[in-house]
């Protein structure tokens, strides 16, 4: 009996630590359907310890981290498609006016363009809007953003795992994920809890600018601590070579 109680007591801290690590790993999975949701972005750092990245957050904060990252991701994608759709709508409108002006002979000599060229450009832009459905995709991301915001309000109920489960269910209808957007959304969620910069994802300027055009891969965006560790290892190797020389 005594031995059994001692074993049970000694195993309790291990079970608690394991549960905390598992919760951190679950919360750290990137938002998004398929490719983004199956990666464990914040689950481990350079040493492979989930405990060192999200382990210091409470269960409520882990849940909030997950939801905030999804809200930021959906907001970024929604804004991109809204701007793209508005630009194309504006271009179509101005092209139509340009065609009318060209046909009426009202344009000055230096601005004259063949009406057939303007009509072709207008048709091309209209076809792009119709085929790719920019407005429809914008609406999808806007709806997902609103639903994640509603889940943030449900955190007050205390069912954190249930809220995360609902959040993951929302992602099944999301288009393929964009990892640069995902990395920036992760960094934004980290900043919300004053997490160490070393755990943030490194996203270069050109990757930021093209984040909504190219999907990249999850491995494209290493953590800063991994980047710094590799850089330090290279310097140490160079110093060893110089000493040998």
Give the model confidence (pLDDT) of 70-113 as tens digits: 999 999 999 999 999 999 888 888 777 666 555 556 666 666 66
For residues 144-156, give the mean pLDDT. Answer: 94
Give me the pLDDT at residue 101, please: 57
> In the chain, how many domains are there?
1
Residue 14 resides in a domain: no
Residue 4 resides in a domain: no
Give me the pLDDT at residue 245, please: 59
Residue 32 scores a pLDDT above 70: no
CA pseudo-torsion sign 78, 206, 70, 196: negative
Query: What's the mean pLDDT when you consider all of the chain?
Result: 78
Residue 22 scores a pLDDT above 90: no
Q: Which single residue is written with the structure tokens 């983004």?
A: 36
133: left (phi over 0), alpha (psi -120 to 50) or beta: left
DSSP 109: G
Give me the pLDDT at residue 90, please: 87
Residue 148 resides in a domain: yes
Parent domain of 139: 29-244
Band (pLDDT 50/70/90 cuts) for residue 219 is confident
Give me the pLDDT at residue 244, please: 77
Give me the pLDDT at residue 102, please: 59
For residues 156-171, give the mean pLDDT. Answer: 91
Helix, strand or coil, per DSSP, at residue 223: strand
Residue 6 scores a pLDDT above 70: no
pTM score: 0.73
Residue 123 resides in a domain: yes
- Of 200, 194, 192, give the one whose Cα is nearest residue 225: 200
More confident residue, 123 or 5: 123
Residue 217 resides in a domain: yes
Alpha helix locations (H) across the chain? 2-28, 59-104, 115-132, 134-154, 160-170, 179-192, 205-209, 224-244
Residue 150 resides in a domain: yes
More confident residue, 232 or 44: 232
Residue 60 resides in a domain: yes
Residue 17 resides in a domain: no
């Amino acid at each position: 009996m005594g031995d059994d109680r001692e074993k049970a007591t000694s195993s309790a801290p291990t079970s608690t630590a394991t549960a905390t690590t598992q919760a951190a790993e679950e919360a750290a999975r990137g938002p998004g359907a398929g490719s983004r949701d199956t990666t464990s972005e914040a689950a481990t750092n350079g040493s492979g310890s989930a405990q060192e990245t999200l382990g210091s957050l409470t269960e409520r904060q882990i849940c909030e981290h997950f939801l905030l990252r999804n809200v930021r991701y959906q907001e970024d994608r929604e804004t991109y498609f809204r701007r793209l759709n508005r630009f194309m709508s504006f271009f179509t409108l101005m092209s139509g006016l340009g065609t009318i002006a060209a046909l009426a002979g009202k344009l000055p000599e230096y601005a004259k363009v063949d009406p057939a060229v303007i009509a072709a450009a207008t048709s091309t832009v209209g076809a792009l809007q119709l085929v790719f459905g920019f407005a429809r995709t914008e609406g999808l991301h806007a709806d997902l953003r609103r639903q994640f915001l509603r889940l943030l309000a449900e955190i007050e109920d205390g069912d954190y795992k249930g809220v995360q489960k609902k959040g993951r269910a929302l992602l099944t209808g999301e288009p393929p994920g964009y990892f640069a957007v995902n990395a920036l959304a992760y960094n934004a969620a980290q900043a919300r809890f004053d997490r160490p910069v070393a755990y943030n994802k490194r996203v270069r300027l050109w990757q930021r600018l093209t984040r909504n055009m190219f999907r990249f891969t999850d491995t494209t965006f290493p953590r800063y601590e991994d980047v710094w560790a590799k850089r330090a290892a290279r310097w140490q190797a160079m110093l060893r070579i110089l000493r040998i020389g």
